[in-house]
Every structure is written in structure tokens, then in C-alpha cells.
């Protein structure tokens, strides 16, 4: 699929310039995005057909085909406000967001390792209630991990995954591809608002990993895919940057109760965004725009795509 996508000379030159910039960049005093890009150029080169960093999950070769590896940490106070959500919700989320990264490659989860940094007095039973609920729901058993004490609650999860055939990377979108999302956006941000006003906020407390949708998109010929963890505007830019294409969005589907701004930049929806040339094979998926042959192009209708979304800075 990737080979079938002919990149323009302009896209290749832009890519080469980016590589040179990040090769010499420091890892400190950067945003998450910049630091991760710089780090990619400090790591050894991936093996043939492998992808070690820079996507939702790493892809390594195994005897059976490809093995997917995802790791993500959930930090109390950063990714979850414990005055609004329960420890069981935080536990659920820690596993679900990793499984979502496997789903974003078109894969299915295998096994999970869970490491917890635990402040004194933390209700580990309640935390694990949510972790094991998600493990059961997604058939992704927890097979090990670590427990250690610390000042701030951190749940660091690693998940394996398998994929039938080629995984779907962020880098395969082609000019002319349609851009789809698996559902309306902004539900998590609207859920967080509801929680602050005493409501239920399920969409924020219990994000869902869309494994079946990711598998269907891959099988149907998706050229690129990402899970919307940091907001449509940010995550679509990542696909466009990695693929060397421009993007034009002409419709942002807004979840019930959400605002258009939350739909564009709210983040933590974990809907999947994918590109492909034909009609979507995923039931309920919504076409939101298309990819263009002009790599710097980032448009929402006739306007520039707003710089909205979540990014860690340090």
C-alpha cells in the first residue's frame, strides 16, 4: 500500500529537512512532540519492515508475522482528576488507552504488563478493579508488571498486539484519499464538563478502544490510521506530517453535548481517524475531508486548521 503511494519531490525534500533538524535537536526543553521526534533519531534504526517509534505502536517482526508493542502511562493529576473520576476509572483508562494504540494499527490486543507507582494510602483494590474490568472486556490479560511506592500515582502499561497482515501506519496516506473518523468527536471533553457540573461523564471516565473498527478499517484498505487521543486538529496533523500530504477538513462531526471546539481539540475521544481511497468499510464512519498533494496545506473549510489539541510540555 505504501509503495503504491507516490510521494512528490517537494514532500521528500520537506521530509529530509525535518530529519536534519531533529537529528541535531536536544531532548530537553521541548514539547512532547519535538522531544519524541528528536529521540527517534537517537535510537538505532529499525529492522527491515519494522517501525520502532513514531506511531501509535511499535511494529517488530515475529515468527508469526508482526508483533505490536504499545506503552503509555496515566498520571493522576495530568491524565485523570481524582476529584472527578474514581481510581477504578483511572485503572480502566490506563489499559484502554494502550489497547486503543493497538487498535490504531489495525491490530488486536494480546497481553498487558502493568506497573504502578503508588502513593501511601492509595486504594489498590479499587484501581485494579478498573484495570481488570478493561482486561476482561478487551480480552487482554494482565500477565505481570511492578508495584513501587512514590509521591504521585502513575499507572504505566505496556500491551502487545497482533495483526493479520500489514499494520496500518500513520505514514501511508496518499493525496486524494478521503479522511474518515469512526464517530462524532468531543464526547470526552463534554463528559469532563458534565463531571465538573456533577454529571456522569461516562465518555470521559471510561474511554473505549475501538478494536473491531480498527480491524475493519485495515482489512478494508485503510492507508493510514491514528487514534484521536490529543484531538482531531493535533492528530490529523501527525498523519499529514508523517505521510507528507496536505489535509482539508470540510466536516467535523460533533458529539451530542459537545461544542465544535471540543470536537476539534478536546482530545481523549479515542475515535479512530483513517484515510483510504474508497468508501469506508467501517459501519458508522464519517467522511470529514480529504488528503491533498500540497504537504503544508492544513485547512478547515476555507480557513487554516486551528492549532487546538493537547500537547505535553516541559
Q: DSSP assignment of 246-257, as one string?
A: EEEE---PBPTT
Nearer of residues 100 and 292 to Mg ion, judged by Cβ? 100
Window of 53-61, 113-121, 125-133, 249-257 that interacts with Mg ion by CB under 5 A:
53-61
Best CA proximity match to 54, nearest among 29, 24, 18, 80:
18
Shortest distance, position 101 Cβ to Mg ion, whole Å = 4
| Residue 295 DSSP SS3 | coil
Nearer of residues 110 and 128 to Mg ion, judged by Cβ? 110
Contact between residue 131 and residue 92 where contact means Cβ atoms under 8 Å apart: yes
Distance CA(159)–CA(157), nearest Å, equals: 7
Nearer of residues 114 and 228 to Mg ion, judged by Cβ? 228
Q: Describe the crossing of helices 87-103 and 211-219 by its angle, rounded to 10 degrees.
A: 10
Nearer of residues 134 and 195 to Mg ion, judged by Cβ? 134
**Which one among 37, 38, 55, 56 touches Mg ion, defined by CB under 5 A?**
56
Shortest distance, position 230 Cβ to Mg ion, whole Å = 8
Q: According to the binding rule CB under 5 A, does residue 101 interact with Mg ion?
A: yes
Window of 49-57, 77-85, 139-147, 260-268 that interacts with Mg ion by CB under 5 A:
49-57
For the chain, the C-alpha Rg in angstroms (whole number) is: 19
Distance CA(91)–CA(188), nearest Å, equals: 17
Shortest distance, position 227 Cβ to Mg ion, whole Å = 4
User: What would the x/- binding string for Mg ion be over residues 238 to 277, using CB under 5 A?
Assistant: ----------------------------------------
Distance CA(45)–CA(160), nearest Å, equals: 21
Interface residue list for Mg ion (CB under 5 A): 56, 101, 227, 229
Amino acid at each position: 500500500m505504501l509503495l503504491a503511494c507516490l510521494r512528490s519531490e517537494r514532500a521528500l525534500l520537506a521530509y529530509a529537512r525535518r530529519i536534519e533538524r531533529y537529528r541535531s535537536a536536544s531532548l530537553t526543553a521541548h514539547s512532547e512532540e519535538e522531544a519524541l521526534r528528536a529521540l527517534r533519531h537517537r535510537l538505532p534504526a529499525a529492522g527491515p519492515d519494522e517501525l520502532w517509534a513514531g506511531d501509535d505502536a511499535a511494529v517488530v517482526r515475529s515468527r508469526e508475522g508482526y508483533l505490536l508493542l504499545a506503552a503509555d502511562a496515566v498520571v493522576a493529576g495530568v491524565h485523570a482528576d481524582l476529584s472527578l473520576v474514581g481510581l477504578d476509572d483511572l485503572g480502566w483508562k490506563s489499559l484502554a488507552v494502550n489497547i486503543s494504540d493497538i487498535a490504531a494499527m489495525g491490530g488486536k490486543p494480546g497481553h498487558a504488563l502493568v506497573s504502578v507507582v503508588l502513593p501511601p494510602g492509595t486504594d489498590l483494590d479499587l484501581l485494579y478493579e478498573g484495570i481488570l474490568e478493561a482486561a476482561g472486556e478487551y480480552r487482554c490479560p494482565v500477565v505481570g508488571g511492578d508495584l513501587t511506592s512514590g509521591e504521585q500515582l502513575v499507572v504505566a502499561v505496556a500491551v502487545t498486539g497482533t495483526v493479520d497482515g500489514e499494520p496500518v501506519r500513520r505514514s501511508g496516506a496518499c493525496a486524494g484519499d478521503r479522511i474518515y473518523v469512526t464517530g462524532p468527536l468531543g464526547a470526552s471533553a463534554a463528559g469532563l464538563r458534565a463531571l465538573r457540573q456533577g454529571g456522569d461523564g461516562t465518555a470521559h471516565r471510561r474511554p473505549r478502544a475501538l478494536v473491531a473498527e480498527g480491524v475493519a478499517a485495515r482489512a478494508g484498505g485503510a492507508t493510514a490510521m491514528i487514534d484521536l487521543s490529543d484531538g482531531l486538529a493535533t492528530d490529523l496533523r501527525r498523519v499529514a506530517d508523517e505521510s507528507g500530504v496536505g489535509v482539508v477538513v470540510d466536516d467535523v462531526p460533533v458529539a451530542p453535548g459537545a461544542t465544535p471546539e471540543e470536537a476539534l481539540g478536546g482530545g481523549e475521544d479515542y475515535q479512530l481517524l483513517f484515510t483510504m481511497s474508497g468508501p469506508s468499510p467501517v459501519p458508522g464512519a464519517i467522511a470529514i475531508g480529504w488528503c491533498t498533494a500540497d504537504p503544508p496545506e492544513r485547512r478547515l473549510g476555507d480557513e487554516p486548521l486551528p492549532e487546538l489539541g493537547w500537547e505535553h510540555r516541559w
